[in-house]
């Protein structure tokens, strides 16, 4: 393994070296390489292009620092018998960029390389390019925030690569980032402060999902600070802090790559879909028995006017979040909860102005009507009995009437024409 | 206006294409019925979906954005229409001559309890004659009171559901839940009653099939009238002046008509 | 901000802590807090106001400076002599430690004013607090980005200060709360969303007229571009960006279109609705022409799915039309139109989007159409206006001279029992359909013509938007079309069998003369010589120079009414169809035909509505003998008295031909009278309201400069 310089020393060191010893020599030596490699038609024996555009190289971050070809292609150092006949060694970027390199080696991209010399996962040049590398803050760089998704998606968005490597994930999911709130902010509004791949997954050291999952609320909180703070106050967040893996974290409600704002009808936290998101856990039998969560919440909601109206497309009516809150959901026993008995009138009052104390009196998620609202149960039964009796009576009367009518008309016909029946 | 009209009108008769008819419903009554019909239809069409929100048809009904809001607006507008026509009807019954007369005929009597049995016995062949009815038979009276009761209940419960905040100043919200149940079931009741009972009586009944047109032109054939509202018909015959009686006799081909009572 | 947190500073703080914290920190503060720790520790200042001198120990100790000793900042306080000291201690000088920040602050607008002795300008503590200072990244800090707007609002949303100092944009902070930035910050809790300082700067803040300010006109796009990098790139190459780069004052910068504080999402309806006004700030004439097109009118009436300026011209990437990148470059136009008009044709793009009807040189076809339609409009109204005026004067004079006879005649006409049929049921039904469809067409169409009037907006709202009004308009047009076709078919059906009977009485063969005699027979609606004579006699009657002419079955103005509708339906119908199916018609016609259709449709509609709502209404409602309504079109009946009065010619002819008795009518009408009258009066009322609205709006428009 070649000797590695610490990255932070490498930069000043190299820049000091250049003016000192090789001002003339570099130009000459690079010129020597470009004598052949600046030819667009230059190919290897197997037909791969060996072309290196000298001007584009000069504009790259390394070219601007006037690095020589052999600074990277170190196996050519001291070589004299040009042209070099053999294929060059793989460039070791770690010679200068030590820290990113060691980060990469512990991430999902670098691990296979280190463990079993599997170089199929992304290496330096796959993301940064090779001869024409630009600084990350150059809008033309492949790792500039607004270009990064496309760079990552060149592998992760490719359906052909989907099952090829462990942990690649589904291409469709990764591509859905482009239409998410984050992707749209980046693409449409040109907002580089929006979250791109590296904002959540990191850049050089990309952790495997098992490690990553636990970090999600904190990672989201990097940008959505106050939301993270709210979340930790609520029942979900405080359990999360205690390491409970059952509670929902950000992605459980908002989705992963395809996160959309709540106003978007496609969003999982849009009023239309909130019920489905909450009930994934709250209607789950095993979770219900584990934590004593009452079941039947969604059904009783869908029975109510709110539920019916929402189902039929009125988005103004109350959904789960309207009453229970969202990031800082608290149990009804918490005096700060929006559904704490004393706060209910105020919560209802958000939509029904001037709602009084009476407005909240009575069970809301009525599950067993006989127990929760005996009056309604009795009325319902009485109506069912009455309606079935009455309609039964109607039908019986009508049937008798029809039969009698038929009999009468037949008799009348017989009287008119007595011969008909006999023949 | 024209001199000839008045006597006919006094006997609730009307001339059409040379024939005499019983004028069962005046124009004002027919318009009331049409308004009631429109309001009822709109209320059912915009209310029933709430009770059957799961069904495919209902889902298709609200396909465009804001359609549910429009549903609510139409429902409330029709309710206001029903309210107005109800109030008007009360005034009409109390203060107009014709309305007052008809309301008196609408009052329930012992006969209305016996008649269903009699018609049933007649239908079962246990009695030779059907019962004789007045201007409104028990079926029509039942329908009328069902509408009165139904409108009252629906308007009252509907108002509470429309203004829940104000309603809960009077009672706790669980009462509102009961009211919602009542509103829903009363609607089903009304809907079924109309679909089965009223539709049978005015459309499917073989005697009027495919439709009794009396709700449109108000005219009832004298023959039909004499069969189905015999008491009222007899009263008419008793009071008719000679000239008109003669016309009725010739029209019904019954020269003996009215002579028995003389 | 993070830039200030450099190593030297950390080093200095650490040194200070090591040196001072141990001996003075805790213990010295105990001395101070013995008094200042009390919650009710107050003194009176010179003015007699109570000033709290309380310092919350817990809060202070959790603050950034919590480890410091009180005397580190309040260095001038002599512990021994301090309690009961007359003069308050000197103001704390933050610059002692925060030297570099203080230097920056001194050059800012706040710092400069402060140095000039302005006491209303914030110093360090006004923004950062005193004993409760936290790092800006801490949620508790008053300069944390989630709290900063409230801190700035202390002065910039202070009404008293606003009045006194006249801040540039007094509503800046309330408007900011409506913005996408506030939504990102406050709803989504996004630390990357901008707060006040991200655009205005913090310590270095300057007024916007200062070229160093990040919100100085020429710097704005770079400031916005700090986050919206891609937009900045695109904008810089646009014509607007180029102008700004060249220092041209006309070049719009970000806030000219997006507003400075109330930046709402460009995907919202609200943004679309004011976008044309924004473009119109500079492109006034274009906006005016745009508003004369369907796009502009519908937009003004609240439609959401019509083209706004940017739908055709682009957003940040607007370039000159001659630039091949432009969306409205001739080569790209079809693609641009096709984005909404799916089956647009190359000729379709010939539609003149910003047409000026007054520009004879550029658009002769539009100019002459406009002149033609306008003169038709003015001509008809002038002619019938005069005609009606004379009539009113004449009948008023007659009425005043002998009002009793007039009233008697009116009662006689109404109460006469001998009634004759004038219209058959189909004709009456057609007129009802005509009323329904015409009123609907007027109600749904006129708001587009008078889009700038308040009533137009109210009407459109009533119909539930331009889209719905459009559906209703087309539906009503279909009714009218069906009525028209059935009427024409009926005419033909009546005419074709007659064709054989049209013979010259002399030769017994078909001749043109016989045909003409048939067309101009007294029962026909085709105007003939008799009508000219009637017209002349009528004029003479107006001036009291002759008897009222004896009209036959149709009067001359009824014939005009009839042909006006006939002509109107044809013209309005055709132009309406062109606008309904523009892509189809431009398949074989040039694009400007749509413009012509629009002018024709609009002016002809105004003519029709104006004519019906004034002259027709005069004939059937407002004439003293008809007032309030002539119901003949609903009942179909005319009384003998009225026949004598109005159509003596017809009566004579009927008697002569002995046809009168066949027209005698029965009376099933009575029951329907109230319904027909209600319907008639509703239509009448709607028409009057519309006529009034049109009149008011046109007068107002003419009066306004």
Distance from CA of C681 to the nearest CA of B (A): 18
Of B119, B165, B207, the CB nearest to A359: B165
Residues of B in contact with C674 (CB under 8 A): 27
pTM: 0.73
The Cα diameter of chain B in Å comes to 71
Cα A385 from Cα A380, distance rounded (Å) = 9
> Pairing relation of β-strands B13-16 and B19-23?
antiparallel
B67:A373 CB<8 A: no
In this prediction, residue C10 has a pLDDT band, given cuts at 50, 70 and 90, of low
Residue A413: its H or E element? helix A374-416
Residues in chain A: 423
C212 interface with B at CB cutoff 8 Å: no
Would you say residue C342 has pLDDT above 60?
Answer: yes
Cα distance between residue B121 and residue B134, in whole Å: 19
Contact present, C449 and C605 (Cβ < 8 Å): yes
pLDDT at B203 over 50: yes
- Give the C-alpha separation, C368 to C665, whole Å: 51
DSSP calls for C57-103: HHHHHHSTTTTS-HHHH-TT--TTT-TT-SSPPPPP-GGGT-HHHHH
Residues whose CB falls within 8 Å of the CB of residue C234, separated by 6 or more in sequence, listed in order: A190, C316, C317
Paired tokens of A408: 């009468």
Residue A286's contacts (CB-CB under 8 Å, 6 or more residues apart) are none
Mean per-residue pLDDT of chain C: 86
pLDDT grade, residue C13 (50/70/90)? low
Q: Residue B14 in 3-state DSSP?
A: strand
pLDDT at A330: 93
| pLDDT reported for residue A24 | 41
The tens-digit pLDDT sequence of chain A (423 residues) is 344 444 445 455 444 444 444 444 444 567 778 888 888 888 877 778 888 888 889 889 998 888 888 888 888 777 777 777 677 888 888 888 989 988 898 888 888 887 877 777 888 888 998 889 998 888 889 999 889 999 999 889 888 887 777 778 788 888 999 999 999 999 888 888 899 999 999 888 888 888 888 889 999 999 998 899 999 999 999 999 998 888 999 999 999 899 998 888 889 999 989 999 999 999 999 999 999 888 888 999 998 899 999 988 888 899 999 999 999 999 999 999 999 999 999 999 999 988 888 888 888 888 778 888 888 999 999 999 999 999 999 999 999 988 988 888 888 888 877 654 443
| Cα–Cα distance for residue pair C640/C417, rounded to 1 Å | 8
The fraction of chain C above a pLDDT of 70, given in percent, is 95
- Residues of C within 8 A of B1 (CB-CB) are 415, 417, 670
- Share in percent of chain A as helix, strand, coil (round to 5): 55, 0, 40
Indicate the DSSP class of residue C134. -
Query: Considering CB atoms only, which of C146, C192, C234 is closest to A193?
Result: C192
Which residues of A fall within a CB distance of 8 Å from C148?
Answer: none
Measure C320 CA to nearest chain A CA, in Å: 22
CB atoms B124 and A400 under 8 Å: yes
Look at A227 and C146 and tell me if their CB atoms are within 8 Å.
no
Q: Taking residues C279-288, what's their average pLDDT?
A: 91
Q: Residue ranges per domain, chain B?
A: 138-212
| C213 closest CA partner among C168, C171, C151, C268 | C168
For residue A195, the model assigns a pLDDT of: 92
Domain ranges of chain A: 1-96, 228-367, 376-409
C1 has a pLDDT exceeding 50: no
- Both tokens of C408, joined, read 């008697």
Say if strands C42-44 and B219-221 run parallel, antiparallel, or are unpaired.
Answer: unpaired
The alpha carbon of A162 is separated from its chain's Cα centroid by a whole number of angstroms, namely: 18
SS3 C52: strand
Q: What's the CA gap between B50 and B74, in Å, rounded? A: 14
Partners of residue C52 on adjacent β-strands: C42
- Model confidence at C3, pLDDT cuts 50, 70, 90, reads very low
**Chain C: closest CA distance from residue B255 (Å):** 29
Phi and psi (nearest 5°) for C595? Answer: -60, -45
Measured N-to-C along each axis, helices B173-192 and B138-162 cross at an angle, to the nearest 10 degrees, of 150
Query: In the complex, which subunits touch B with 3 or more CB pairs below 8 angstroms?
Result: A, C
C507 by Cβ neighbours in 10 Å (0-12 / 13-18 / 19+) ranks as exposed
Calculate mean pLDDT across residues C60-68: 89
**Helix, strand or coil for residue C420?**
strand
C237 lies within 8 A of chain A by CB: no
- Interface probe for B, chosen from A303, A314, A365 (most Cβ of B below 10 Å), is A314
Peptide bond before C24: cis, by omega within 30 degrees of 0?
A: no
Residues of A in contact with B203 (CB under 8 A): none
Side-chain half-sphere exposure of B230, counting CA atoms within 13 A: 7
Other chains touching C, judged by 3 or more CB pairs under 8 Å: A, B
pLDDT tens digits, residue range C445-463? 999 999 999 999 999 988 8
Percentage, residues of chain B above pLDDT 70: 96
- Whether the predicted pLDDT of B6 surpasses 60: no
Say which residue the tokens 């509670």 belong to: A247
Indicate yes or no: CB of B53 within 8 angstroms of CB of A312: yes
* pLDDT, average across residues C677-691: 87
Sheet strands side by side (includes B219-221): B13-16, B19-23, B219-221
Q: Which residues of C touch B16 (CB under 8 A)?
A: 668
pLDDT band of C671, cuts 50, 70, 90:
low
Put simply, the answer to whether C675 touches B1 (Cβ < 8 Å) is: no
Give the best-scoring range by mean pLDDT among A404-413, B174-183, B208-217. Answer: B174-183
C561 near A CB under 8 A: no
Task: Flag whether pLDDT at C611 surpasses 50.
Answer: yes
Asked if residue A83 has a cis previous peptide bond (ω within 30° of 0), the answer is yes
Mean pLDDT of C208-224: 91
Name the phi and psi angles at A102, rounded to 5: -70, -30
What CATH number does domain C364-703 carry, 1.20.950.20, 1.20.1540.10, 2.60.40.420, 1.10.760.10?
1.20.950.20
On average, the pLDDT of chain B sits at: 87
A266 to chain B, closest Cα gap in Å: 14
**DSSP-derived 3-state class of residue C551:** coil
Q: B 16-45 residues with CB below 8 A of A?
A: none
**Distance (Å) from the C-alpha of residue C471 to the closest C-alpha of chain B?**
15
User: Which residues in chain A have Cβ-Cβ distances shorter than 8 Å to B66?
Assistant: 313
Q: Which residue has the higher pLDDT, A382 or C628?
A: A382
Smallest CA–CA separation between C184 and chain A, in Å?
9
DSSP string of C173-217?
A: HHHHHTSHHHIIIIIS--TTS--HHHHH-STT---TTSTTSTTST
C669 → chain B, closest CA residue: B27
pLDDT value for C4: 45
Contacts of A305 in chain B (CB under 8 A): 50, 180
Residues near A295 by beta carbon (within 8 Å), at least 6 away in sequence:
A282, A283, A285, A288, A367
Does C140 touch chain A if contact means CB atoms closer than 8 Å?
Answer: no
At residue C419, φ and ψ (nearest 5 deg) are -120, 145
Q: What pLDDT was estimated at residue A377? A: 92
Q: Roughly what angle, to the nearest 10 degrees, separates helices C556-580 and C466-499?
A: 130
Q: Which is more confidently placed, C660 or B106?
A: B106
Residue A76 buriedness (CB in 10 A; 0-12 / 13-18 / 19+): middle
pLDDT at position C22 is 43
- Angle CA(C645)–CA(C650)–CA(C656) in degrees, nearest 5? 120
* Cβ contact, residue pair B2, C672, below 8 Å: no
Chain A to chain C Cβ contacts (< 8 Å): 49
Q: Cβ contacts (< 8 Å) between A139 and chain C: which residues?
A: 229-230, 233
C228 CB neighbours in chain A (<8 A) are 189-191
Looking at residue C8, its pLDDT comes to 54
> Which of A128-137, A190-199, C106-115, C414-423 comes out lowest in average pLDDT?
C414-423
Confidence of residue B261 (pLDDT cuts 50, 70, 90): very low
Secondary element (H or E) of residue C639:
strand C637-639
Query: Which whole-number Å values give the CA distances from C22 to A84, A210, C18, C28, C36, in the listed order?
Result: 69, 46, 7, 10, 21
Q: Cα(C534)–Cα(C540) distance, rounded to whole angstroms? A: 10
Contacts of the segment A65-70: beta carbons below 8 A, 24+ positions apart: A65/A14, A65/A15, A65/A18, A66/A18, A66/A26, A67/A14, A67/A18, A67/A26, A68/A22, A68/A25, A68/A26, A68/A29, A68/A30, A69/A29, A69/A30, A69/A33, A70/A29
Angle, CA of A68, A69 and A74, to the nearest 5°: 105
Q: Mark yes or no for CB contact C675/B31 under 8 Å.
A: yes
Give the residue from chain B lying closest to C672, CA to CA.
B27
> Chain C residues with CB inside 8 Å of A193's CB?
192-193, 227
Q: Token digits for C32?
A: 């101070």
**Residue whose C-alpha is closest to residue A3's, from A87, A90, A92, A77:** A92
Provide the token pair at A191: 């907002």
């Amino acid at each position: 393994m070649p000797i590695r310089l610490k990255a932070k020393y490498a930069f000043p060191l190299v820049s000091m070296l250049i003016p000192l010893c090789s001002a003339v020599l570099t130009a000459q030596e690079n010129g020597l390489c470009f004598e052949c490699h600046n030819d667009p038609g230059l190919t290897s024996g197997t037909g791969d292009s060996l072309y290196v555009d000298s001007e584009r190289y000069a504009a790259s971050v390394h070219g601007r620092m006037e690095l020589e070809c052999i600074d990277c292609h170190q196996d050519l150092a001291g070589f004299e018998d040009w042209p070099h006949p053999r294929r060059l060694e793989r460039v070791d970027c770690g010679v200068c960029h030590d820290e990113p390199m060691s980060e990469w080696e512990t991430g999902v991209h670098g691990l296979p390389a280190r463990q079993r010399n599997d170089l199929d996962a992304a290496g330096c040049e796959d993301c940064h390019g090779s001869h024409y590398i630009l600084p990350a803050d150059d809008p033309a760089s492949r790792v500039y925030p607004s270009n990064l998704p496309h760079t990552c998606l060149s592998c992760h968005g490719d359906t052909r690569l989907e099952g090829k490597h462990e942990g690649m994930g589904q291409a469709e999911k990764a591509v859905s980032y482009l239409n998410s709130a984050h992707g749209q902010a980046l693409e449409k509004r040109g907002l580089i402060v929006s979250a791109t791949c590296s904002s959540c997954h990191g850049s050089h050291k990309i952790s495997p999902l098992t490690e990553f999952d636990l970090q999600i609320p904190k990672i989201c909180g990097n940008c959505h600070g106050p939301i993270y703070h709210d979340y930790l106050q609520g029942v979900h967040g405080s359990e999360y802090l205690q390491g409970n893996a059952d509670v929902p974290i950000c992605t459980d409600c908002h989705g992963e790559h395809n996160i959309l704002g709540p106003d978007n009808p496609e969003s999982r936290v849009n009023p239309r879909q909130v019920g489905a998101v909450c009930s994934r856990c709250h209607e789950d039998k095993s979770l219900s028995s584990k934590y004593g969560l009452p079941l039947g919440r969604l059904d009783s909601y869908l029975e109510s006017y709110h539920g019916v109206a929402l189902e039929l497309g009125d988005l103004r009516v109350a959904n789960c979040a309207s009453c229970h809150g969202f990031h800082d959901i608290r149990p009804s026993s918490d005096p700060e909860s929006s559904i704490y008995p004393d706060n209910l009138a105020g919560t209802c009052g958000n939509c029904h102005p001037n709602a009084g104390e009476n407005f909240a009196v009575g069970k809301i998620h009525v599950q067993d009507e006989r127990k929760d609202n005996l009056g309604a149960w009795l009325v319902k039964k009485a109506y069912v009995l009455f309606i079935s009796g009455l309609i039964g009576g109607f039908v019986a009367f009508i049937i008798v009437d029809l039969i009698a009518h038929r009999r009468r008309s037949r008799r009348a016909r017989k009287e008119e024409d007595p011969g008909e029946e006999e023949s | 206006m024209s001199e000839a009209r008045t006597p006919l009108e006094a006997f609730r008769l009307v001339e059409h294409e040379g024939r005499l008819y019983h004028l069962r419903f005046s124009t004002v009554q027919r318009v009331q019925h049409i308004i009631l019909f429109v309001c009822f239809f709109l209320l059912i069409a915009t209310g029933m979906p709430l009770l059957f929100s799961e069904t495919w048809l209902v889902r298709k009904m609200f396909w465009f954005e804001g359609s549910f809001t429009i549903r609510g607006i139409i429902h409330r507008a029709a309710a206001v229409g029903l309210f107005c026509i109800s109030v008007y009807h009360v005034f009409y019954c109390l203060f107009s001559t014709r309305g007052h007369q008809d309301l008196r005929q609408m009052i329930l009597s012992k006969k209305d309890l016996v008649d269903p049995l009699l018609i049933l016995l007649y239908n079962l062949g246990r009695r030779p004659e059907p019962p004789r009815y007045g201007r409104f038979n028990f079926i029509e009276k039942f329908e009328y009171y069902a509408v009165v009761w139904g409108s009252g209940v629906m308007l009252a419960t509907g108002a509470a559901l429309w203004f829940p905040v104000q309603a809960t100043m009077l009672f706790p919200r669980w009462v509102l839940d009961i009211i919602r149940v009542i509103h829903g079931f009363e609607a089903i009741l009304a809907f079924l009653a109309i679909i089965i009972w009223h539709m049978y009586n005015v459309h499917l009944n073989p005697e009027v099939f495919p439709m009794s047109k009396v709700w449109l032109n108000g005219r009832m054939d004298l023959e039909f009238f004499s069969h189905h509202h015999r008491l009222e018909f007899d009263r008419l015959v008793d009071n008719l002046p000679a000239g008109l009686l003669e016309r009725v006799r010739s029209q019904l081909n019954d020269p003996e008509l009215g002579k028995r009572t003389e | 901000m993070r830039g200030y947190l450099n190593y030297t500073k950390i080093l200095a703080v650490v040194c200070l802590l090591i040196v001072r914290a141990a001996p003075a920190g805790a213990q010295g503060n105990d001395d101070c807090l013995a008094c200042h720790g009390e919650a009710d520790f107050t003194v009176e200042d010179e003015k007699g106001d109570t000033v709290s001198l309380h310092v919350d120990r817990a809060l202070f100790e959790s603050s950034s400076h919590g480890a410091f000793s009180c005397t580190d900042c309040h260095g001038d306080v002599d512990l021994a002599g301090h309690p009961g000291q007359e003069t308050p201690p000197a103001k704390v000088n933050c610059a002692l430690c925060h030297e570099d920040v203080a230097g920056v602050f001194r050059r800012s607008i706040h710092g400069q004013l402060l140095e000039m002795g302005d006491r209303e300008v914030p110093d360090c503590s006004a923004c950062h607090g005193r004993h409760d200072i936290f790092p800006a990244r801490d949620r508790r800090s008053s300069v944390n980005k989630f709290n900063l707007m409230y801190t700035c609002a202390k002065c910039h949303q202070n009404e008293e200060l606003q009045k006194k100092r006249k801040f540039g944009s007094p509503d800046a902070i309330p408007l900011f709360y409506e913005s996408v930035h506030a939504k990102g910050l406050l709803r989504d809790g996004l630390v990357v969303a901008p707060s006040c300082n991200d655009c205005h700067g913090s310590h270095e803040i300057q007024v916007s007229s200062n070229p160093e300010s990040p919100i100085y006109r020429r710097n704005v796009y770079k400031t916005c571009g700090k986050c919206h990098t891609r937009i900045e790139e695109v904008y810089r190459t646009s014509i607007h960006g180029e102008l700004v780069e060249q220092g041209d004052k006309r070049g719009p910068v970000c806030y000219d279109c997006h507003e400075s504080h109330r930046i709402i999402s460009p995907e919202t309806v609200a943004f679309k609705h004011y976008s044309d006004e924004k473009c119109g700030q500079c492109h006034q004439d274009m906006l005016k022409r745009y508003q004369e097109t369907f796009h502009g009118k519908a937009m003004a009436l609240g439609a959401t799915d019509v083209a706004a300026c940017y739908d055709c011209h682009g957003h940040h990437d607007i370039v000159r039309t001659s630039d091949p990148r432009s969306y409205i470059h001739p080569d790209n136009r079809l693609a641009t139109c096709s984005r909404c008009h799916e089956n647009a044709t190359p000729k379709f793009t010939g539609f003149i989007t910003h047409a000026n009807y007054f520009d004879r040189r550029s658009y002769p076809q539009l100019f002459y159409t406009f002149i033609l339609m306008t003169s038709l409009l003015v001509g008809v109204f002038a002619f019938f206006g005069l005609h009606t005026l004379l009539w009113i004067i004449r009948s008023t004079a007659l009425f005043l001279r002998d009002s009793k006879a007039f009233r008697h005649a009116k009662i006689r006409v109404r109460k006469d029992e001998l009634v004759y049929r004038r219209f058959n049921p189909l004709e009456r039904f057609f007129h009802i359909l005509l009323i329904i469809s015409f009123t609907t067409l007027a109600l749904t169409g006129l708001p587009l013509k008078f889009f700038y009037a308040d009533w137009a907006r109210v009407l459109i709202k009533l119909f539930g938007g331009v889209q719905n009004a459009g559906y209703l308009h087309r539906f009503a047009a279909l009714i009218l079309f069906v009525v028209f076709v059935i009427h024409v078919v009926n005419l033909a059906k009546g005419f074709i069998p007659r064709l054989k009977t049209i013979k010259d009485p002399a030769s017994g063969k078909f001749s043109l003369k016989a045909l003409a005699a048939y067309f101009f027979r007294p029962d026909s609606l085709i105007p003939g010589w008799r009508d000219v004579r009637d017209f002349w006699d009528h004029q003479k009657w107006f001036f009291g120079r002759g008897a009222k002419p004896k009209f036959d079955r149709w009067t001359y103005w009824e014939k005009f009414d009839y042909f006006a509708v006939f002509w109107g339906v044809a013209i309005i119908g055709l132009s309406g169809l062109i606008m309904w199916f523009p892509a189809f018609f431009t398949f074989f016609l040039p694009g400007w035909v749509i413009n012509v259709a629009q002018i024709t449709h609009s002016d002809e509609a105004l003519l029709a509505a104006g004519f019906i709502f004034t002259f027709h209404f005069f004939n059937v409602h407002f004439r003293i003998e008809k007032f309030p309504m002539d119901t003949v079109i609903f009942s179909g009946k005319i009384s003998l008295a009225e026949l004598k009065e109005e159509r003596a010619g017809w009566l004579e002819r009927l008697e002569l031909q002995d046809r009168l008795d066949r027209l005698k009518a029965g009376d099933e009408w009575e029951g329907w009278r109230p319904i027909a009258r209600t319907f008639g009066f509703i239509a009448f009322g709607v028409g009057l309201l519309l006529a009034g609205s049109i009149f008011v709006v046109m007068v107002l428009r003419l009066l306004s400069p």
